[in-house]
Amino acid sequence: MSAENLAGKWTRKSGRTLFDSITCVVFLFLDFLDAVLCVVFKLVDEFFEGNACTPCYCGKAGDKNGENKETEMLSESLYGRKYMLRNMGFLGFARKWRIYRKKKDDRDGSVNEGLMVNRWSDCGCQSCVSWMKKEYDQKLHVVVKNLPQGRGDEAAENVIFLHGFLSSSSFWTETIFNNLSESVKDHYRLFAVDLLGFGRSPKPNDSAKYPKFVKSVTLVAPPYLPCAKDGATTSLMALNTFAGKTLWPPLAFGKSVMSWYEHVGRCFCVLFCRNHRIWEMILKLFTLRRELNFMEVDLTRHTHHSAWHNMHNVICGAAKLMDKYLEILNKSRSVKVCIIHGDHDMEVPLDCSNNMKKKFPELVELNMIENVDHTSVILGRVREFAKSLQHIWASS
């Protein structure tokens, strides 16, 4: 090996070692900060709300005695996240404080779980709390594109659009709904749903049965992982795959912080989500726009509780159930699952779609789009995407 190649190899190895060391130090600090914030938020919650109405997941699943049925429904990634400092003696004050508060709450009977309240750390504007009014009756917010007047509903088919993480029904109504042909609008009834915890749907603190009624399912960059024999392993694998601890790129670092550190993430939500109207006003002033893009608005229109549980219980927790649900569709023999995935997707690796295709070759049809990422697979080619949907619906 030449001296030049040896020097290059040594430089790369040294750079990698330095980067890993910095990463370790940063996340050690975040471990410590999250443990401290755990106690801080307990105190502040008690001051504003009387007690912490929503418990955190800093302890172990076994700490919640008598709640086995509840914890069975939770993703293993909530309690199985590994912390380098959390279990050390000098950070034991956080755990001891939780045990003390739990015993006191049990004695006082001051448990408010399930109570429909707006937390002090969440936004209290009219738009964010409208779901709490009695006339809304805790129903999901749905935007419906009905058939033109005069057309019979007998032959109409229903198409349901479900948005992704930190989004809302606006993602579909502002893009695809406006680019479908008139012939499609005459034959399909379109529904765009705000999922629980996002958009204008309820955001409560405690938030695949009929395959014969499904003709086709279209997935855009599905976060699929082959299910391991141990479901807990699959959930933790999903957390490390979609939000692994890393400093670079910045977006990946942000995802890891918000997904691994419950209380640090809540601080960001207090700063941005609770004060979203102020940030929207500032953004309008700097951009000289009267209306903001729907994606800029949707990014902060949620609570920390809803985003945290959607990440862990829906994305990570559901990873262990995906094979079971796909097997149900596969046995029906009448459903077609179409996947659209960009080859430059950095959010959800292309391997996810490839693995689903390998596991269910007869059920899944994979359409890989070149030179697009997680966002531009739709927003960068809205008309092409709408045409793809129309073709899928017509052929199913």
Give me the tens of pLDDT residue by residue for the chain, a chain 396 residues long. Answer: 566 677 777 788 888 899 999 999 999 999 999 989 988 998 898 888 776 556 788 876 655 544 454 555 678 888 888 776 665 554 555 556 556 666 665 555 554 544 456 788 888 887 787 777 766 566 788 999 988 776 656 667 899 999 998 899 999 999 999 999 988 888 899 999 998 888 888 877 655 556 777 888 999 999 999 887 776 788 999 999 999 999 988 999 999 999 999 999 999 999 999 999 999 999 999 999 999 999 999 988 888 988 999 999 999 998 988 999 999 999 888 899 999 999 999 999 999 999 999 999 999 999 999 999 999 999 989 999 999 999 999 887
- Burial group, residue 6, by CB count within 10 angstroms (0-12, 13-18, 19+): exposed
d(CA 39, CA 42): 5
What is the pTM assigned to this prediction? Answer: 0.85
Domain segments of the chain as ranges:
3-122+233-314, 321-396
What is the distance, to the nearest Å, from the Cα of residue 254 to the centroid of all Cα atoms in its chain? Answer: 14
d(CA 49, CA 68): 26
Q: Residue 103: what are its φ and ψ, rounded to 5°?
A: -65, -40
Query: Which helix (H) or strand (E) element contains residue 356?
Result: helix 350-359
The CATH class that applies to domain 321-396 reads alpha beta
Counts for the chain of helices (H) and strands (E), in that order? 16, 6
Decide if 300 contacts 127 (C-beta within 8 A): no
d(CA 268, CA 304): 9
- Give the strand pairing for 157-162 and 188-193: parallel
